[in-house]
C-alpha cells in the first residue's frame, strides 16, 4: 500500500508556545487512520496541519514537511485553495449553511466551477448525497432548509458537501462526538464505506470508535506522537506502557 501523506519532523507553534514536537508518520492511501489521546494533546492541531487550516491563525507556524502524493504542501507557492479541495474537512459540530439541502451540497461545486451544466450539477449533488448515505432520506425535500435535518443527518450533509468537490483525503475532527449512538453508528459505517475511495484521518476521543473504524492508530500525548501502528496491535499489544495505560482507562 503506498503512502498518501508523509509527515516528517513536523513541529508546530502558536507564537512561542510549541504544540507539536517532531512528528513523523506515514498515512497509507485508502485507509482510515485514527488519532487518539487526551484533550489538549495536539490531535486536532495536527489534523489541521494536513490541509493548512492552521494558516488562518496569524501566530501559527509549522516547521518540517508534510507531503501529499510526494508534494510538500508547505512549499512556497502552494495553492492552498486547491489543497483544501483535495483535502476536505468535516468538523466536530455539523455546520450546514443557512441554505437548502441541495444548495449546501452544490455550494463547493459551484465555487470551484467543476460542473459543466445544470444536469451535471444535479448529478454531482445526488452522487455526493448517495456517497454520504443520505440520498434516500432527503431526495424528496432537497429544496427544504438544511436546518430541518436531525443532528446526524446534518453531519452526513456536511460529509456530502466535502465529498461533492471530489477530494482525495477527508479529515474528520470528532465527527460523531455530538451525536446519539444510532447516528454515531451511521457515521462509523459511512467511514468504513468511504475508505474504498478516500484516505481518511479521524480524530476521536472514543476508544471503541477508533478500534471499530480505523486501520491504523496514532496515540498522542502532550504534543508528541507516542506510538503509531496497526489498530489491532495498538489495542491488544501496544509497544508503549503509556499507550496501554491510556487505552485501558488508567488516565485521560
Task: Tell me what pLDDT residue 178 has.
Answer: 83
> Nearest CA to 220 among 238, 244, 243?
243
Phi, then psi, of 130 in degrees rounded to 5: -60, -50
125-180: per-residue pLDDT in tens?
999 999 999 999 999 999 999 999 999 999 999 999 999 999 999 999 999 988 88
For the entire predicted model, the pTM comes to 0.94
User: Do residues 45 and 51 lie in contact, with contact meaning Cβ atoms separated by under 8 Å?
Assistant: no
12-70: per-residue pLDDT in tens?
999 999 999 999 999 999 999 999 999 889 999 999 999 999 999 999 999 999 999 99
Q: CA-based Rg of the chain, rounded to a whole angstrom?
A: 18
70-84: per-residue pLDDT in tens?
999 999 999 999 999
Task: Tell me what pLDDT residue 221 has.
Answer: 96
> Nearest CA to 160 among 97, 202, 215?
97
Task: Tell me what pLDDT residue 46 has.
Answer: 97
Task: Tell me what pLDDT residue 158 has.
Answer: 95
For the chain, how many residues are written? Answer: 252
Q: State the CB neighbour count (10 A cutoff) for residue 207.
A: 17
pLDDT band at 112, cuts 50/70/90?
confident
Q: What is the DSSP string of 131-165?
A: HTT-HHHHTT-TTSBGGGS-HHHHHHHHHHHHHHT
Beta bridge partners of 88: 170
pLDDT band at 252, cuts 50/70/90?
low
Task: Tell me what pLDDT residue 179 has.
Answer: 87
Work out the burial of residue 112: count CB atoms within 10 Å of its CB; fewer than 13 is exposed, 13-18 middle, 19 or more buried: middle
Specify the CATH architecture of the domain 3-247: 3-Layer(aba) Sandwich (3.40)
CA separation for the pair 233, 61 (Å, rounded): 34
Element (H, E) at 235: helix 231-236
Amino acid at each position: 500500500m503506498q503512502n498518501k501523506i508523509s509527515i516528517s519532523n513536523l513541529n508546530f507553534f502558536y507564537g512561542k508556545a510549541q504544540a507539536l514536537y517532531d512528528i513523523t508518520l506515514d498515512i497509507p492511501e485508502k485507509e482510515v487512520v485514527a488519532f487518539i489521546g487526551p484533550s489538549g494533546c495536539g490531535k486536532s492541531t495536527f489534523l489541521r496541519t494536513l490541509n493548512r487550516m492552521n494558516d488562518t491563525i496569524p501566530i501559527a507556524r509549522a516547521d518540517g514537511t508534510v507531503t501529499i502524493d510526494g508534494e510538500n504542501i508547505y512549499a512556497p507557492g502552494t495553492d492552498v485553495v486547491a489543497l483544501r479541495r483535495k483535502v476536505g474537512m468535516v468538523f466536530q459540530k455539523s455546520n450546514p449553511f443557512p441554505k437548502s439541502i441541495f444548495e449546501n451540497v452544490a455550494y463547493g461545486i459551484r465555487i470551484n466551477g467543476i460542473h459543466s451544466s445544470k444536469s451535471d450539477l444535479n448529478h454531482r449533488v445526488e452522487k455526493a448525497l448517495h456517497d454520504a448515505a443520505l440520498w434516500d432520506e432527503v431526495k424528496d425535500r432537497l429544496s427544504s432548509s438544511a436546518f430541518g435535518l436531525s443532528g446526524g443527518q446534518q453531519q452526513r450533509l456536511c460529509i456530502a458537501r466535502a465529498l461533492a468537490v471530489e477530494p482525495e483525503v477527508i479529515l474528520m475532527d470528532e465527527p460523531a462526538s455530538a451525536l446519539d449512538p444510532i447516528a454515531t453508528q451511521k457515521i462509523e459505517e459511512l467511514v468504513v464505506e468511504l475508505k474504498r475511495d478516500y484516505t481518511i484521518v479521524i480524530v476521536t476521543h472514543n476508544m471503541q470508535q477508533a478500534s471499530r473504524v480505523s486501520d491504523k492508530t496514532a496515540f498522542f500525548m502532550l504534543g508528541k506522537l507516542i506510538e503509531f501502528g496497526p489498530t489491532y496491535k495498538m489495542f491488544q499489544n501496544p509497544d508503549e506502557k503509556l499507550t496501554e495505560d491510556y487505552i485501558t482507562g488508567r488516565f485521560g
